[in-house]
Amino acid sequence: MKKINIVLFGVGNVGSTLIKQILETRQSILKSLNVEINIPIVVNSRIAFFEQKTVRPSWETDFKAFGHPYKISNIINHVKAEGLQNVIAVDATASEDFVKNYKELIRNGFHIVAANKAANTLSEKFYKDLRVELKKHNRQFLYETNVGAGLPIIKTLQDLHISGEEVTKMRGVFSGSLSYIFNTFSNENKLFSEVLQEAREKGLTEPDPRIDLSGKDVGRKLLILAREIKIKKELSEITIENLIPSHLNGKSSIAHFIDNQKDLNIGFDERKSNLKKDEVLRHIGELDVASGKLEVKLVSEKRSSPFGSLQQADASFEIYTKSYGERPIVIQGAGAGAAVTSRGVLSDILKLSEKIEFRN
C-alpha cells in the first residue's frame, strides 16, 4: 500500500471541499489504486492544526479548537519529527506571498499541487528558478486547476508541446464566472448589476467581483498557457480590457463597489444594444504565437458559434496547431465552482502518486 501525506494550505471553499471529497472517496481510492491518502496537517493563513493520524469528519471543530499560530518552519519540523514520507503541499490559497515558500518546501522534500495560480504568473525569473529547484531536488509540481478548473487544458497543451506539435493560436472563454454573467446578460432581460449580484450570490465570482471584471485573472490564465509552450512573457505585457469604471476601481472598498454597481449598467446596456440579433457578448482570452500578442477582451460572437452557444458557467478552449490547421482542438465544460476545482486538485494528487517513488 502506498501512503500519501497531504499538508493542506487553505481551508476556504476549495480546501474544505477537497477535504470532504477525500473523506468520501478515501476507501474507494485505497481499494482501486492501493493508495492511502492522509491529511495530518491543515493550515489557514493564521493557524495550523496537527492531527495525530489524519483529519476526520469533525475536522472543522478540531481545527478551531486545537489550531495554533505557526511558521513554515514549524510545519517542516513537524513533518520531519513525525517521519512523514511522500508529503504533498496542497496550495488551495490565492496568496502571492505564500508561493514564496515553495522553494523552501521543495528543499525539504515536499511535492506541490496548487490551485493557486500565483507561482506560475509571477516574474519569468521566479518561474524559471522554481523549476530549477524542482529538478535539483527531484520534486513534482502539478497545477492543472490553474486554468479551466477541472478541465484538462494544461495537460493537453503539455502533451502537444512535448510531442513536437506546433501550437499556433489559443482562444477561449477562460472564466466560468464571466461566462455565466455574459451568458445570462446576453439572453435575459436583466440589468447587468442584477446579473452580477446573482453570480455573487451563487458563489461564482470572487468575493470582490472586480477581480473577475478587471480581466486580470483571465490574463494570468493566458500567461500560464503561454509559458507552457515556452513563450516568454510577463503579466504586464498582456493587453487586458478592464471592464470596471475608474471610480469603482480597486482603490475604493468592496462595499463601495457593491453599493454602486448599478453604475455599470449604462456601459453594458450600450454594448448589448449594439449587438445584432444573432450575437451575444463573450469575454475571451487570445494568444497568437506568430505575433506574440496576448489579449483579454469583451467581444461579440455569433449565437451559433462554439463560444456563443455556451451555457451557465461553462468555459471553452480552442487550441490551434500546425497539424490540425483551422480545425481547433476544443475542450469545454464547467469552468467554475469549488466542487470541480477541488476534484481537479484531487486528480492531480492521484497523478502525482503515480509519479513519485514511494517510501512507507
C-beta of residue 267 within 8 angstroms of C-beta of residue 293: no
C-beta of residue 55 within 8 angstroms of C-beta of residue 23: yes
Q: CA 216, 207, 243: angle at the middle one, nearest 5?
A: 40
H/E run at residue 254 = helix 254-259
Q: Residue 246 corresponds to which amino acid?
A: S
In angstroms, rounded to a whole number, what is the distance separating the alpha carbons of residues 176 and 183? 10
- Active-site annotation holds for 135: no
DSSP labels, 256-271: HHHHTGGGGHHHHHHH
In angstroms, rounded to a whole number, what is the distance separating the alpha carbons of residues 204 and 302? 25
In angstroms, rounded to a whole number, what is the distance separating the alpha carbons of residues 189 and 287? 33
Cell triple for residue 39? 491529511
User: Closest Cα partner for 347 from 138, 106, 76, 148?
Assistant: 148
Catalytic one among 2, 100, 202, 221? 221
In angstroms, rounded to a whole number, what is the distance separating the alpha carbons of residues 4 and 35? 7
Q: Which of the residues are catalytic?
A: 221
